[in-house]
């Protein structure tokens, strides 16, 4: 018997449930990450100007944070995008609902960030439709890691995309939070994390005020306080604009799904925090 001629049926010939993979093989022109890969100059490893992302003329998303609270997990972000020393947008959305029980927030170059969020949403929906059931929370987080990894060539050109991912895990009945590095490394955090140019300032506030199992109202207040402090310290982060009524985006992910905290509640909490600052 000639065993070399025996081949197993190949499952991968079946259309894959990943939309990203489908695009890679069938429509690479539609992929956001690889589009300019060949048209940009290749950066040398010693050229620091290309490695630095701080003063590139692409709009940059700035402070986004996430932490767990008693029902699930909260994710929030400011609304400012900057282009060098100019403000590119003051109503930008950096927090996106990705499916019924998950959301992501992004920091980095605005264009690729928004495209990654859009593609990730389609990716999850596509899988759910083809497979008949949604991915698990862990599966979604891994999938996003693959997409961040695929973006690595663009990082060398300064187009950094750093997401935060939150989801409700139905099996464990908890909200979970994942952070990523530029190479696609995925790390789970049980408490809190913040990324972006004001991420460090937001993290120091969260370190002070974060408690395990905060009730919902208190959690919203902590999130806004952290964003307010980040806006105080970082030029790239926009604070709440009480005059034009622009408030940070805050989303809550729990067993019932993803909810937006409405503007009325955000306005009340922001006003209270600003008052608190005036008194001290």
Partner 1 sequence: MALPYYVSPEQMMQDRAEYAKKGIAKGRSIIAMEYSDGVLFVADNPSASLFKISEIYDSIAFSGAGRYSEFENLRKAGIQHADVKGMMYSREDVTARSLANGYSQILGTLFSQEMKPYEVELLLAQVGETPERNELYRISFDGSIVDERKFTAIGGRSETILALLRKEIPQTCPSLKEALTLCQHAFEQGADPRSNLEGLEVAILDRTRIGRRFRRVPTLEATQILA
| Cβ distance to partner 1 smaller for residue 50 or 122 | 122
Piece in contact with partner 1 (CB under 8 A), picked from 16-24, 61-69, 185-193, 199-207? 16-24
CA dist., res. 12 & res. 182, Å (int): 29
Beta carbons within 8 Å of 96's beta carbon, 6+ residues apart = 103, 104, 105, 106, 117, 118, 121
| 88 belongs to the binding site for partner 1 (CB under 8 A) | no
Q: Exposure pattern of 187-220 as b/e (b: 16+ CB <10 Å)?
A: eeeeebbbbbbbbebbbebbeebbeeebebeebb
| Cβ distance to partner 1 smaller for residue 115 or 169 | 115
Q: What is the H or E stretch that residue 260 is in?
A: strand 257-260
Catalytic-role residue among 62, 82, 205, 237: 62
Taking CA 113 as the corner, what is the angle to CA 209 and CA 165, rounded to the nearest 5 degrees? 45
| 118 belongs to the binding site for partner 1 (CB under 8 A) | yes
**Least spacing, CB of residue 125 vs partner 1, in Å:** 7
- Partners of 175 in the beta sheet? 168
| 189 belongs to the binding site for partner 1 (CB under 8 A) | no
| Cβ distance to partner 1 smaller for residue 30 or 242 | 30
- Partners of 252 in the beta sheet? 74, 259
| 129 belongs to the binding site for partner 1 (CB under 8 A) | yes
| Cβ distance to partner 1 smaller for residue 134 or 198 | 134
Interacting residue with partner 1 among 70, 125, 216, 233 (CB under 8 A): 125
Query: Which DSSP state fits 52?
Result: -
CA dist., res. 141 & res. 227, Å (int): 24
Piece in contact with partner 1 (CB under 8 A), picked from 35-43, 76-84, 128-136, 156-164? 128-136
Alpha helical stretches, state H, 81-176: 110-131, 137-150, 152-155
Piece in contact with partner 1 (CB under 8 A), picked from 120-128, 212-220, 252-260, 262-270? 120-128
Judge whether 62 counts as a catalytic residue. yes
| 19 belongs to the binding site for partner 1 (CB under 8 A) | yes
CA dist., res. 270 & res. 22, Å (int): 44
| 170 belongs to the binding site for partner 1 (CB under 8 A) | no
Piece in contact with partner 1 (CB under 8 A), picked from 18-26, 48-56, 156-164, 219-227? 18-26
| 135 belongs to the binding site for partner 1 (CB under 8 A) | no
Alpha carbon distances (Å) from 2 to 5, 6, 7, 9: 6, 7, 11, 17
Catalytic residues: 62
Contact positions vs partner 1 (CB under 8 A): 15, 19, 22-23, 27, 30, 118-119, 122, 125-126, 129-130, 132
């Amino acid at each position: 018997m000639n065993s070399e001629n025996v081949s197993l049926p190949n499952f991968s010939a079946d259309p894959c449930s990943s939309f990203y993979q489908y695009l890679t093989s069938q429509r690479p022109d539609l992929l956001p990450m690889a589009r300019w890969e060949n048209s940009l100059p290749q950066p040398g490893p010693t050229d620091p100007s290309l490695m630095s992302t701080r003063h590139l003329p692409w709009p940059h998303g700035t402070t986004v944070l996430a932490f767990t609270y008693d029902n699930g997990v909260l994710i929030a972000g400011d609304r400012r995008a900057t282009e060098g020393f100019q403000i590119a947008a003051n109503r930008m959305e950096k927090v996106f609902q990705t499916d019924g029980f998950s959301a992501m927030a992004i920091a980095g170059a605005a264009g690729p960030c928004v495209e990654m969020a859009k593609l990730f949403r389609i990716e999850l929906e596509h899988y759910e439709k083809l497979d008949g059931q949604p991915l698990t929370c862990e599966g979604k987080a891994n999938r996003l890691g693959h997409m961040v990894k695929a973006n690595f060539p663009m990082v060398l050109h300064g187009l950094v995309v750093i997401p935060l991912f939150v989801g409700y895990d139905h099996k464990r009945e908890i909200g979970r939070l994942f952070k990523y590095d530029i190479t696609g490394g995925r790390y789970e955090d049980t408490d809190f994390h913040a990324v972006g140019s004001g991420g460090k300032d937001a993290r120091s506030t969260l370190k002070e005020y974060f408690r395990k199992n905060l009730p919902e109202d208190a959690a919203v207040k902590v999130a806004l306080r952290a964003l307010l402090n980040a806006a105080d310290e970082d030029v790239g982060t926009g604070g709440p604009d009480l005059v034009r009524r622009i408030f940070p985006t805050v989303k809550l992910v729990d067993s019932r799904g993803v909810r937006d905290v409405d503007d009325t509640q955000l306005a009340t909490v922001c006003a209270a925090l600003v008052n608190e600052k005036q008194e001290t």
